[in-house]
Amino acid sequence: MHQARTTCPYCGVGCGVRADIEDGRLHGVEGDGDHPANYGRLCVKGSALAETLGSHGRLTRPRVDGVEVDWDTALDAVAERLQATRDTAGEGALAAYLSGQLLTEDYYVANKLFKGFLGTPHLDTNSRLCMASAVAAYKRALGADAVPCSYEDLEEAELVVLVGSNLAWNHPVLYQRLRTAKMRNPLMRVVVIDPRVTDTCEIADLYLGLRPGSDARLFNGLLAWMADKGRLDRLYLERHTQGVEAALAAAREDDAAVEAIAADCDLDPERLETFFYWFASQLHVVTLYSQGINQSSSGTDKCQAIINCHLAGGKIGLPGAGPFSITGQPNAMGGREVGGLANQLAAHMDYDSPGAIDRVTRFWATETLVPTLPEGPGHKAVELFEAIERGEVRALWVMATNPAVSLPDADRVRAALAKCPLVIVSECMADTDLLPYADIVLPASSWSEKDGTVTNSERRISRQRGLLPPPGEARHDWWIVCEVARRLGYGEAFAYEHPAEIFVEHARLSGFENDGNRIFDISALAELDREAYDALAPVQWPVTRAAPRGTTRLFEDGRFATADGLARLMPVRPRGPAQALGESRPLRLNTGRVRDQWHTMTRTARAPRLMNHRAEPFVEITPEDAATFGVGDQQLARLTGAGGEYRGRVRLTKGQRRGEVFVPMHWTDRFSGAARAGRLLAAHLDPISGQPETKHGAVALAALEVGWEATLLMASDDASGGEFEGRDDGAYWARIPLAHCQRWQLARGKPGEPRDWLAWVQRWLPTAPTLWCDDPAGGRLRAAGLEDGRLRWWLMVAPPAELPGLAWLDERFAESSRGQPLTADRRRRLLAGCDAGEADAGPLVCSCHQVGQKAIVEAIQAGDTSVEALGARLACGTQCGSCLPELKSLIEDTAGADPEEEDDHARAEQAPKAVHVA
Calpha distance 817→713 (Å, rounded): 14
Please state whether 322 falls in left (phi above 0), alpha (psi between -120 and 50) or beta.
left
Question: What are the DSSP calls for 202-219, one per residue?
Answer: GG-SEEE-PPTT-HHHHH
Smallest distance from ligand SF4 to CB 1, Å: 22
- Binding flag, residue 610, ligand SF4 (CB under 6 A): no
Calpha distance 858→855 (Å, rounded): 5
Pick from 19, 26, 29, 43 the residue near ligand SF4 by CB under 6 A: 43
- Binding flag, residue 326, Mo ion (CB under 5 A): no
- Binding flag, residue 328, Mo ion (CB under 5 A): yes
Smallest distance from ligand SF4 to CB 296, Å: 24
- Binding flag, residue 334, Mo ion (CB under 5 A): no
Residue 5 vs residues 20, 24, 30, 417: alpha-carbon distances, Å: 9, 15, 10, 39
Task: Closer to ligand MGD by CB, 321 or 680: give it.
Answer: 680
Smallest distance from ligand MGD to CB 52, Å: 10
Q: Which phi and psi angles does 176 have, rounded to 5°?
A: -65, -35
Pick from 100, 116, 143, 172 the residue near ligand SF4 by CB under 6 A: 172
Strands 771-775 and 780-787, how do they pair?
antiparallel
- Binding flag, residue 45, ligand SF4 (CB under 6 A): yes
Smallest CA-to-CA distance from 646 within 625, 664, 623 is with 664
Beta strands in 521-653 (DSSP E): 539-540, 567-568, 587-592, 618-621, 636-641, 644-652
Task: Closer to ligand MGD by CB, 406 or 711: give it.
Answer: 406
Smallest distance from ligand SF4 to CB 882, Å: 8
Each residue 116-155 as x (binds ligand SF4 by CB under 6 A) or -, in order, gives ----------------------------------------
**What type of residue is 308?**
N
- Binding flag, residue 382, ligand SF4 (CB under 6 A): no
Query: CB-based contacts of 112: which residues, under 8 Å, 6+ apart?
Result: 346, 364, 493, 494
- Binding flag, residue 607, ligand SF4 (CB under 6 A): no
Each residue 90-129 as x (binds Mo ion by CB under 5 A) or -, in order, gives ----------------------------------------
Classify residue 902 by burial, with Cβ atoms within 10 Å: 0-12, 13-18, 19+. exposed
Smallest distance from ligand MGD to CB 565, Å: 31
Calpha distance 225→229 (Å, rounded): 6
Largest CA distance in the chain: 84
Pick from 46, 121, 499, 877 the residue near ligand SF4 by CB under 6 A: 46
Q: Which phi and psi angles does 97 have, rounded to 5°?
A: -130, 110
Smallest CA-to-CA distance from 552 within 330, 336, 322 is with 322
Q: ω into residue 371 within 30 of 0, thus cis?
A: yes
Number of residues engaging ligand SF4 in binding (CB under 6 A): 14
Task: Closer to ligand SF4 by CB, 74 or 326: give it.
Answer: 326
CB closest to Mo ion, residue no? 328
Q: Which one of ligand SF4, Mo ion, ligand MGD, none interacts with residue 888, CB within 5 to 8 A by kind?
A: none
Q: Which one of ligand MGD, ligand SF4, Mo ion, none interacts with residue 15, CB within 5 to 8 A by kind?
A: ligand SF4
Pick from 96, 147, 149, 173 the residue near ligand SF4 by CB under 6 A: 173
Residue pair 835/808 in contact by the 8 Å Cβ criterion: yes
Smallest distance from Mo ion to CB 130, Å: 3
Residue pair 284/156 in contact by the 8 Å Cβ criterion: yes
Q: Which one of ligand SF4, ligand MGD, Mo ion, none interacts with residue 878, CB within 5 to 8 A by kind?
A: none
Length of the chain: 918
Dihedral over Cα of 557, 561, 567, 572: its sign: negative
Task: Closer to ligand SF4 by CB, 14 or 213: give it.
Answer: 14
Task: Closer to Mo ion by CB, 132 or 809: give it.
Answer: 132
Task: Closer to ligand SF4 by CB, 11 or 734: give it.
Answer: 11
Calpha distance 585→680 (Å, rounded): 11
CA 252, 253, 256: angle at the middle one, nearest 5? 40
CB closest to ligand SF4, residue no? 46
DSSP 116: I
Calpha distance 289→309 (Å, rounded): 14
Calpha distance 358→64 (Å, rounded): 38
Calpha distance 848→871 (Å, rounded): 12
Q: Which one of Mo ion, ligand SF4, ligand MGD, none interacts with residue 8, CB within 5 to 8 A by kind?
A: ligand SF4
Per CB under 5 A, the segment of 273-281, 326-334, 487-495, 723-731 that binds Mo ion is 326-334
Contacting positions for ligand MGD (CB under 6 A): 11, 99, 101, 126, 129-130, 163-166, 169-170, 193-196, 198, 212-213, 215, 290-292, 295, 328-329, 399-402, 405-406, 426-429, 432, 444, 446, 450, 477, 590-593, 595, 597-600, 602, 665, 677-678, 681, 694-695
Question: What are the DSSP calls for 446-513, one per residue?
Answer: -TTT--EEEE-TTSEEEEE---SPPSTT-B-HHHHHHHHHIIIIIGGGG--SSHHHHHHHHHHHHHTT
Smallest distance from ligand MGD to CB 793, Å: 29
Q: Which of residues 3-42 bind ligand SF4 (CB under 6 A)?
A: 8, 10-11, 13-15, 38, 42
760: helix, strand or coil: helix
Q: Which one of ligand MGD, ligand SF4, Mo ion, none interacts with residue 462, CB within 5 to 8 A by kind?
A: none
Q: Which one of ligand SF4, ligand MGD, Mo ion, none interacts with residue 173, CB within 5 to 8 A by kind?
A: ligand SF4
Calpha distance 502→237 (Å, rounded): 42
**What type of residue is 238?**
E
Q: Which one of ligand MGD, ligand SF4, Mo ion, none interacts with residue 26, CB within 5 to 8 A by kind?
A: none
Task: Closer to Mo ion by CB, 12 or 538: give it.
Answer: 12
Q: Which one of ligand SF4, Mo ion, ligand MGD, none interacts with residue 14, CB within 5 to 8 A by kind?
A: ligand SF4
Task: Closer to ligand SF4 by CB, 296 or 847: give it.
Answer: 847
Calpha distance 826→447 (Å, rounded): 40
Task: Closer to ligand MGD by CB, 99 or 544: give it.
Answer: 99
Calpha distance 866→885 (Å, rounded): 12
Q: Which one of ligand SF4, ligand MGD, Mo ion, none interacts with residue 477, CB within 5 to 8 A by kind?
A: ligand MGD
Q: Which one of ligand SF4, ligand MGD, Mo ion, none interacts with residue 413, CB within 5 to 8 A by kind?
A: none
Per CB under 5 A, the segment of 32-40, 230-238, 324-332, 636-644 that binds Mo ion is 324-332
Smallest CA-to-CA distance from 801 within 888, 709, 905 is with 709
CA 235, 239, 244: angle at the middle one, nearest 5? 75
Question: What are the DSSP calls for 91-113, one per residue?
Answer: GGGEEEEE-TTS-HHHHHHHHII
Calpha distance 517→17 (Å, rounded): 35
Half-sphere exposure in the Cβ direction for 523 (13 Å, CA):
15
> Angle at which helices 499-511 and 356-364 pack, to 10 degrees?
150
- Binding flag, residue 130, Mo ion (CB under 5 A): yes
**What type of residue is 596?**
D
Task: Closer to ligand SF4 by CB, 214 or 879: give it.
Answer: 879
Number of residues engaging Mo ion in binding (CB under 5 A): 2
Classify residue 583 by burial, with Cβ atoms within 10 Å: 0-12, 13-18, 19+. exposed
- Binding flag, residue 317, ligand SF4 (CB under 6 A): no
Task: Closer to Mo ion by CB, 406 or 879: give it.
Answer: 406
Smallest distance from ligand MGD to CB 328, Å: 2
- Binding flag, residue 316, ligand SF4 (CB under 6 A): no
Residues that bind Mo ion (CB under 5 A): 130, 328
Q: Which residues bind ligand SF4 (CB under 6 A)?
A: 8, 10-11, 13-15, 38, 42-43, 45-46, 171-173
